[in-house]
Each structure stands twice: as structure tokens, then as C-alpha cells.
Amino acid sequence: MREEDLIKQLVGLIDIVELHEDGIIKQYKEEVKRYSAFQNRVQKIDGQQQEQKNINVRNYIKYLLKEGTMQERREILSCIKNKIIIKNKILSIEK
């Protein structure tokens, strides 16, 4: 089974899994802080850190699964409460 197929299936499950949202929100805030530092140092854009107050946690997880590094994917998957099962090349969750 290819990594892309697993990611696609995981993204499809994100809307129904139970999450530890505190860990995800912490990771999101760290990402915003890192991006702001990038803008300030590299692009020489001054200003306050812009932090989105009402984030869609599930969309953020989907983004990280598709675009994130292996480490980011592992961290975000650790915030899923459900047990993920693979059977016959199909992912599902145990409720």
C-alpha cells in the first residue's frame, strides 16, 4: 500500500475521529509563531504576530497530513483518540 493511499484514507477519517484538541491547537500556535518569525527575519515584514483565533482543527490536521513532514504527521496522529485499524488495505477506526 502506498503512502499517498494511506494519507488519502486518513484525511477521509478525520471528520469522524475523536481528538485531543489541546495538543493540536498548541502545535498550530507554534506554527504561526514560526511563520511570523520567518516573515520578520527573511521577508523583512514587520508587525505583530497574526494568530487566527477560531481555527478549524480538522482542516489543519488534513493540511498537515497532506503537506506536513513525517514528524508533523506523527505528532498530529498522536492527537487522535481512536484506534486506527488497517484491514484488507482499508483504514477504519475503532469507536
For residue 69, the model assigns a pLDDT of 93
Tell me which residue range forms the domain holding 74. Answer: 3-94
Element (H, E) at 74: helix 70-77
Q: Is residue 78 over pLDDT 70?
A: yes
More confident residue, 32 or 90: 90
> Side-chain half-sphere of 29: how many Cα atoms within 13 Å?
8
How does residue 48 score in pLDDT terms, banded at 50, 70 and 90? low
Overall number of domains in the chain: 1
Phi-psi region for residue 88, left (φ > 0), alpha (ψ -120 to 50) or beta?
A: left
**pLDDT for 90:** 94
